[in-house]
């Protein structure tokens, strides 16, 4: 089995230099999630050995096209065990990430991970996304939580209708999805921008994985 430091190389392959603090946090992720996954299963047993590829790098797909500058407020809808919110919070330390999930045991894992990693730019909520303040966030992110129409229904009211200075994109929803999205997009009535992750990452696991963006 590769060491955490060796696994971090999969991130460095696609994203340049990191600060010593970021490298420490990337490396610590393995131990933190292994410990908590033994107590509360938030990552499947078959995926825990592929944490950096299937969860961390997958989350960071958002960072290939989106910039969250200092002061940006991002809500992670249905964060589960903290993805994509925690990897993005490490990557963008000057932005603030609001991780929300309606399942208490998942938020418990997120809170402990945030504490262990020393992340000061993460807020956690044991709540439904709809209960968060309206118009308080610049972007909503999510990973395979619900159909696109549901995510947009929950996320749109939370977003400020503006173009955040320093961001190449207007405020909106960015979600990570897999499989054939044709019917899901058609049912949503939306016209999202879609990127194939296999064009960004060479690992076979990213086949039929997509990043979907709906501007506010």
Q: Write the DSSP assignment of 42-80 as a string of letters.
A: -S-TTTGGGHIIIIIIHHHGGGGT----TT-EEEEET-T
> For residues 143 and 78, what is the distance between their CA atoms, to the nearest angstrom?
8
Cβ(216)–Cβ(161) below 8 Å? yes
Query: What number of other Cβ atoms are within 10 A of residue 158's Cβ?
Result: 24
> For residues 197 and 175, what is the distance between their CA atoms, to the nearest angstrom?
12
**Annotated binding-site residue? 82:** no
**Annotated binding-site residue? 31:** no
Of the candidates 68, 65, 63, the residue with the CA atom closest to the CA atom of residue 167: 68
**Annotated binding-site residue? 116:** no
**Annotated binding-site residue? 104:** no
Pairing of β 172-178 and β 193-196: unpaired
| Residues in contact with 42: Cβ distance below 8 Å, sequence separation at least 6, in sequence order | 36, 80, 81, 105, 106, 109
**Annotated binding-site residue? 143:** yes
Give me the sign of the Cα torsion angle 25, 28, 32, 33: positive
Q: Which residues are annotated as a binding site for S-adenosyl-L-methionine?
A: 78, 83, 129-130, 143
């Amino acid at each position: 089995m590769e060491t955490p430091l060796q696994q971090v190389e999969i991130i460095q392959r696609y994203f340049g230099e990191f600060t010593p603090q970021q490298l420490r946090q990337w490396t610590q992720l393995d131990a933190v999630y292994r410990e908590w996954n033994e107590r509360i299963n938030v990552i499947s047993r078959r995926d825990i050995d592929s944490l950096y590829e299937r969860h961390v790098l997958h989350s960071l797909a958002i960072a290939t096209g989106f910039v969250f500058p200092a002061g940006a407020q991002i809500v992670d809808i249905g964060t589960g065990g903290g993805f994509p919110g925690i990897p993005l919070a490490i990557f963008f330390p000057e932005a603030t990430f609001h991780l929300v999930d309606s399942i208490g045991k998942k938020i418990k894992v997120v809170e402990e991970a945030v504490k262990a990693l020393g992340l000061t730019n993460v807020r956690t909520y044991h709540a439904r996304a709809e209960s968060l303040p309206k118009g308080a966030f610049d972007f909503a992110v999510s990973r395979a939580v619900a159909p696109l129409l549901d995510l947009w229904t929950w996320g749109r009211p939370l977003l400020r209708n503006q173009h955040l200075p320093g961001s190449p994109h207007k405020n909106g929803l960015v979600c990570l999805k897999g499989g054939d999205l044709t019917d899901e997009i058609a049912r949503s009535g939306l016209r999202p921008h879609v990127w194939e992750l296999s064009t960004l990452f060479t690992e076979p696991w990213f086949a039929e994985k997509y990043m979907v963006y709906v501007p506010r």
